[in-house]
Structure 1
């Protein structure tokens, strides 16, 4: 954190007051460095990782100059994944609480396009979306960028990695040349440098050093004799170090699914997350892992980027990351908010090049550790929660309080028996203690929410 208060900026009083209500007193480093230039209308390149506060940095810039009485699309934020877009939109809505009648619309693939078309017909001030779906709406004439004043590219490096370069060019071709462009990227490879040269005008470059404090993370590296020893070694480490939430990182989508399947066959509570999954399955996976209904998430780097998941107990690198930045981002999932964490990595002799890159990038000397002894009597950890999906959501005017009320009205369940509740347009998810699962299902099936019977099922 910096010691610079938000009140020192040229921000509208209502925005500053809302920041105070949200508990945001001092700016993070990226905010302190980038916001003055953003508020001055300059193009900005911000190099900072997830968790640095960059969303608030560009978000406050968008909101400060927004003319809410002018009902046109004034800002567009492009993100690599739907998960990140949803997270960004949620943060923007929180920052915009003091602005009446503002409309922030999310346009992403993987969900029905009909509701988006209807929402666009009613207009919006800020669009947050993924490149492919935004292009679809632009090409069909449903979205118009003639009044755009600010374009934000969030996690631009990931968008290029995921093959969105042509889509980005297509979006930019339909945007006014006279605009402010803000580009945020965790890394700054040559492709990003080239993109910046094409899109930005005399940009201010802001770089914030490593945000994850890895001093609270214990790292261990285990050398294996053969590549096919990895799965057994991973199971041994999981049994020795697994808590209620662990992440396993793999380098390919196929490997991610294979590892998750093998762990499931061995009795572990595990879910996979990768780009080949249907969006509905990705959503359900994230809900279950975030609310404690699964102990292990096996993921690729791209799928795990920008996920709104709090600190995990341990991180396991099934394969070493290709570079130090990605490795640091992986292990930064643990040891957050003052907690200690552990990161365990597997490698073989063929990973010598990656080891050198990690040692140079992290400034450490990697010494192989001995694998712990394998105890066949050990059992995989079991999750404390289970997830129920309800066939009703925001469009049915259902609120979290309605779900809590339906489950606790009879006093057979208490608030302590419930976990996270997540509301979506046409369904909702509620986490329930596994020991109370049968009772919770019975209460939902026999009761009503908002006067209607709502079907519930176990995910």
Structure 2
């Protein structure tokens, strides 16, 4: 489907209060995915959309859901499935902002890693919109605590990552319990065969919308370095000391590699955090909080673990290992250089990985820059630049312990 000339939100059949709220939030001109999908979704058609993180896809489905919401009907009318709790929290937050013009809209987030008791109490109030991860949603359906007989819209957000994380069976079991007459919206950053398969199984003649998945790389300096396997970690340290990014995400392909690399960097006096699928939810939350609070300049992550994270002002992305898929590579480096800021993307590759390099060149339709590692200069000052700017302190206290924010100096 080609782009449309309709780019202003005022061209949509939204109420004046809704449009005023959009304007107050800075929503004036629609992004590509919004302008191409919102008219279709508001019409009630199913949608199969390819759009990356940061494209405005959340608003693309949230606005249409809220536009059609019957706030006086106390039944769950929309269900949004997300691969991670972090993405679910972000989606819920955007829903709440967009819903400010609709009084008494009840939006509930249901994810694993949280006590189920408070969730059960919240479900008794019949939320209009439920956002959550497949595992916890299925658990509530099995307990009978979540009723979806009044559901009108199902959204699968970042469906490709949910499939990568093994949620196919859970999603199938959830869909079996939904009304047959519903609208189904499927969003995916990539377009593997499995996406078409699940679309055929759960959607009714969906409109196919694909927004150009290449990130705007005009602000990203991208450099590749050829290394031997034994030189990979030392070269990474040289990169960090040479470029001295204040914040960086280092991508590895395996969970154990993340953990091992974080430990290797710590032994060299460089603070780093590891984010991967083997972490408990509490550990994951603590890692993300520390990185967000600038208590570490370096986050080492797998693609799945980093999926859906909204990391602002990220100065550098480093590929410790090249991805098997050139589209994933572009998605990785697109996390830096956003909103007009300068970004840096550095990648290490072995001679045996030359075919991956060629695939990246073919995908982005231009050659890549390969520099020699001898151009990297390290200095003792680099270690200072990589030191955390802040320290995050976890205090195990609260209302029960009669500890308030005002009791902590500086809080």
Residues 216-259 of structure 1 show CA distances to partners (whole Å, capped at 9, x for unaligned) of 111111111x2121101100101111221111000011101111
Partner of 2:152: 149
Query: Secondary structure of 1:326's match?
Result: helix
Q: Which residue of 2 aligns with 1:388?
A: 393
Change (3 A) 1:394 1:363: farther
Does the aligned pair in 1 maintain the 2:239–2:376 contact within 8 Å?
A: no
Are residues 1:222 and 2:204 paired?
A: no
Query: Could you tell me whether the CA contact under 8 Å between 2:241 and 2:379 is conserved in 1?
Result: no
Higher RCO (C-alpha under 8 Å, 6+ residues apart)? 2
What SS class does the counterpart of residue 225 from structure 2 fall into? Answer: strand
- 1:186-205 correspondence to structure 2 within 5 Å: 186-205=189-208
Q: Trace 1:278-293 onto structure 2 (pairs within 5 A).
A: 278-293=280-295
- Using the size of structure 1 for normalisation, the TM-score is 0.84
Q: In structure 1, what is the Cα distance between the partners aligned to 2:399 and 2:99?
A: 20
How big is the shift at 1:161?
A: 0.7
Q: Quick one: which of 321, 344, 369 aligns to 2:371?
A: 369
Correspondence for 2:238: 236
Instruction: Report if aligned partners of 1:314, 1:342 keep a CA contact under 8 Å in 2.
Output: yes
| Preserved CA contact (<8 Å) 2:91 2:131 | yes
Question: TM-score when scaled to structure 2?
Answer: 0.94
Deviation string 1:96-134 (CA, Å, 9 cap, x unpaired) is 011111110001111111111111122211000000110
Secondary structure of the structure 2 residue equivalent to 1:19: helix
CA drift of 1:311 comes to 2.6
In structure 2, distance between residues paired with 1:131 and 1:336:
30
SS in 1 for 2:49: strand
Work out the CA distance in 2 between the residues paired with 1:168 and 1:104.
21
SS of 2:39's partner is: helix
Give yes or no for contact 1:78–1:152 (8 Å, CA) kept in 2.
yes
DSSP-derived class of the 2:380 partner? coil
Where 1:382 maps in the other structure, the secondary structure is coil
Aligned pairs for 1:362-441 within 5 A: 362-371=364-373, 372-373=375-376, 375=378, 377-380=380-383, 381-391=386-396, 403=405, 406=406
Alignment root-mean-square deviation, CA: 2.1
* Separation in structure 2 between the aligned mates of residue 443 and residue 219 of structure 1, nearest angstrom: 40
Match of 1:134 among 112, 116, 137: 137
Q: Deviations over 1:199-226 (max 9, x none)?
A: 11111111111362111111111111x2
What SS does the corresponding residue of 1:116 show, helix, strand or coil?
A: helix
Residue of structure 1 in register with 2:106 after alignment: 103
Aligned match of 1:433: none
Give aligned pairs, total: 405
SS at match of 2:314: coil
Stretches of structure 2 lacking an aligned partner (at least 5 in a row): none
Secondary structure of the equivalent of 1:387? coil
Shift of 1:279: 0.6
8 Å CA contact 1:222, 1:346 repeated in 2: yes
| Local SS of the residue matching 1:106 | strand
Residues 371-417 of structure 1: CA distance to partner in whole angstroms, max 9, x if unpaired? 13454634422122222335567999x9xxx84xx38xxxxxxxxxx
The aligned counterpart of 2:327 is 325
Task: Kindly indicate whether the alpha-carbon contact (under 8 Å) linking 2:242 and 2:382 is maintained by their aligned counterparts in 1.
Answer: no
